[in-house]
Amino acid sequence: MTQLPILYSFRRCPYAMRARMGLLVSACPVALREVILRDKPADMIAVSPKATVPVLLLADGQVIDESLAIMHWALEQNDPDNWLARDEDQSALITEADDEFKFHLDRYKYPNRYADVDPLEHRAAALVFLERMEKRIARSGQLFGAQSGLADHAIFPFIRQFANHDREWFDALPLRGLQKWLADHLSSSLFQMTMTKYPQWQSGDQEPVFGAEMPT
């Protein structure tokens, strides 16, 4: 039997969510090792000393330990929904989300982790990015046209975090397109399957196969 790649993942991590969605849509099953961040497995740190999730360990020993690189690895083998169309434009927007938006999201959500931070200033700064997304989504339904792609799936787990921090405030924003876009992605069968719960993996445990079944 061919050895499956191993994915170190954490269910609630938005980076791991995007990697799992990429693996699912491209029908690349993996052996899933669910990680608890305060108790990371030594096996994971041994292959990726930077010790962030997700980490994909291929059967030939190659290690891919950046979420976007995992998405690309999977989609380059099989991209049935054409997520990589306009890859360069999509990647540029993802970089903005990962850099600027995430910077403000962290300071809005966890102001106590930083010195001298006003969470509401960071919420306002993050909103500028959301307003730009709203314009795109209002035009065509998704970030790059009518079909969702790499950028939608890479970014929405972070918008989910932002929205959940103060749901009432988020729901009252005049960003109808973005709110519907988020709700649709959250209720998709792809995301539901991505959020399947697994027990923490301990060294020696037999891993569950993630991606054995496809979303409908």
Ligand X SMILES: N[C@@H](CCC(=O)N[C@@H](CS)C(=O)NCC(=O)O)C(=O)O
Please state, in angstroms and rounded to a whole number, the distance separating the CA atoms of residues 49 and 168.
40
CB of 137 to ligand X, least distance (A): 23
Q: How far is CA 175 from CA 100, 130, 138, 170, 183, in A?
A: 20, 8, 9, 9, 12
CB of 172 to ligand X, least distance (A): 28
CB of 13 to ligand X, least distance (A): 3
177 burial (CB, 10 Å; 0-12 / 13-18 / 19+) is middle
The residue among 67 and 90 lying less far from ligand X, judged by its C-beta, is: 67
Please state, in angstroms and rounded to a whole number, the distance separating the CA atoms of residues 125 and 100.
9
CB of 23 to ligand X, least distance (A): 13
Under a CB-based contact definition with an 8 Å cutoff, are residues 211 and 6 in contact?
no
The residue among 41 and 134 lying less far from ligand X, judged by its C-beta, is: 41
The residue among 15 and 83 lying less far from ligand X, judged by its C-beta, is: 15
Question: In the complex, which residues of this chain contact ligand X (CB under 6 A)?
Answer: 10, 13, 15, 37, 52-54, 66-68
The residue among 52 and 148 lying less far from ligand X, judged by its C-beta, is: 52
CB of 51 to ligand X, least distance (A): 6
CB of 54 to ligand X, least distance (A): 6
The residue among 67 and 179 lying less far from ligand X, judged by its C-beta, is: 67
User: Which residue type does 148 have?
Assistant: S
Please state, in angstroms and rounded to a whole number, the distance separating the CA atoms of residues 204 and 181.
41
The residue among 37 and 195 lying less far from ligand X, judged by its C-beta, is: 37
126 burial (CB, 10 Å; 0-12 / 13-18 / 19+) is buried
